[in-house]
Amino acid sequence: MESAEDWLVESLRLYQDFHAFDLSGATRVLEWMGDKGILVAGYESLKKNEILHLILPLRLSVKENQGLFPERDFKVRHGGFSDRSVFALKHVPDTRLLVTSGLPGCYLQVWQVAEDTDVIKAVSTIDVHETEGSLWSRVAIFSSAAPGVLHGVRLSSLKVVDLESQKTTYTSGVGDSELLSSLQVLDADTFAFCCTSGRLGLVDTRQKGLQGAQEGACSLVISLAPAVKVAHRKAPGFDGTVQVYDVTSWDGMWGRVDPLFTHRGHIFLDDNGVDTAPLVTTHTWHPDKPRTLLSAASDASLHVWDWVDLRASC
């Protein structure tokens, strides 16, 4: 594959480090469990999907003497089977619990990651009252001594449920049936929501109703790098690339902004040889390494890459 070879040669210049893996099934989720493990899950509709807890290769976890660690592979530390497609997966911090959302059936599944074996077991469910069968609930976690699960299909059905007691601690109390596209917890009392219409809003769970809504603001998924003020915009389903932007350089004018870096690995390393290039399904930042990202695509590939900031060399 000529283009793959070319891209690899190019990659010597573009990336500090680069790893490419083939999962047994494509994932739409990449969730950290601690700083050394990630969780992935399948989303196929007619077969059993796997939920895997993967431990990062040692090389990516150590801070010094990287060169002395030849191990470049992921280890499957835990695994479980899900009969449903998994579209969202959240780890409840400081616990061994996971919450997933998917189809068919509009409910959330709670899982336990075993300590003495390699099993991820389904332990309980959280009801989501939604009659339309093709919709799945978005999920976010309020982490605290008593963790709460924020979920909802529509603005009207937004709820926070206490994980242990299963009691509802918050409801949106609005009648608006707009569909949600994502939820993000900001602190112990606040979360942000984004609707499929593009409406963006903030909610303080101590107050009634929804605050600060803005139209047409969130059509793309944004994630913020933990260590550095760099924003990453990914266009889900748009193409097979991942783009990195630096928000600190934006002066408030919403004009055309060029990405700092574009990761094209999923397109060029696609071994399937089919005409349709794979689409990037999800991405996440490494918690400790400022320029390391993990990205997954619809062809079951999983990349871990550390891009070179070409500005820095000038």
Partner 1 sequence: MLLSHVVHTAATEVCFPSPLSVLQGEGPRASCGAGAGQDVGRSCILVSIGGKNVMLDCGMHMGFSDDRRFPDFSYITRNGRLTDFLDCVIISHFHLDHCGALPYFSEMVGYDGPIYMTQPTQAICPILLEDYRKIAVDKKGEANFFTSQMIKDCMKKVVAVHLHQTVQVDDELEIKAYYAGHVLGAAMFQIKVGSESVVYTGDYNMTPDRHLGAAWIDKCRPNLLITESTYATTIRDSKRCRERDFLKKVHETVERGGKVLIPVFALGRAQELCILLETFWERMDLKAPIYFSTGLTEKANHYYKLFIPWTNQKIRKTFVQRNMFEFKHIKAFDRAFADSPGPMVVFATPGMLHAGQSLQIFRKWAGSERNMVIMPGYCVQGTVGHKILSGQRKLEMEGRQVLEVKMQVEYMSFSAHADAKGIMQLVGQAEPENVLLVHGEAKKMEFLKQKIEQEFRVSCYMPANGETVTLSTSPSIPVGISLGLLKREMAQGLLPDAKKPRLLHGTLIMKDSNFRLVSSEQALKELGLAEHQLRFTCRVHLHDTRKEQETALRVYSHLKSVLKDHCVQHLPDGSVTVESILIQAAAHSEDPSTKVLLVSWTYQDEELGSYLTSLLKKGLPQAS
| Contact yes or no for 247/223 (Cβ under 8 A) | no
111 vs 193, which CB is nearer to partner 1?
111
- Kindly report the three-state secondary structure assignment for every residue of 118-151: CEEEEEEEEECCCCCCCCCCEEEEECCCCCEEEE
Binding segment for partner 1 among 102-110, 118-126, 137-145, 228-236 (CB under 8 A)? 118-126
- Burial of residue 146 (CB within 10 Å: 0-12, 13-18, 19+) is exposed
Selected from 46, 65, 132, 253, the binder of partner 1 by CB under 8 A is 65
E strands in 196-264 = 200-204, 211-214, 221-224, 231-234, 242-245, 261-263
Shortest approach of partner 1 to residue 78 CB, angstroms?
A: 7
Q: Which of 22, 35, 83, 164 binds partner 1 (CB under 8 A)?
A: 22
Part in contact with partner 1 (CB under 8 A); list of ranges 72-80, 84-92, 95-103, 237-245: 72-80
Cβ proximity to partner 1, 49 vs 184, nearer residue? 49
Q: Residue 4 CB, nearest distance to partner 1 (Å)?
A: 7
Q: Give me the least distance between CB of 69 and partner 1, in Å please.
A: 5
Q: Which one of 34, 35, 45, 48 is in contact with partner 1 (CB under 8 A)?
A: 48
Tell me which of 63, 116, 145, 175 binds partner 1, using CB under 8 A: 116
Q: Report residue 59: phi and psi, to 5°.
A: -55, -35
Residue 84 near residue 122 (C-beta atoms within 8 A): no
Interaction between residue 68 and partner 1 (CB under 8 A): yes
Residue 118's identity, in one-letter code, is: D
The DSSP H or E segment spanning 15 is strand 15-22
Residues that bind partner 1 (CB under 8 A): 4-5, 8-9, 11-12, 17-24, 48, 50, 54, 57-58, 65, 67-81, 116-120, 269
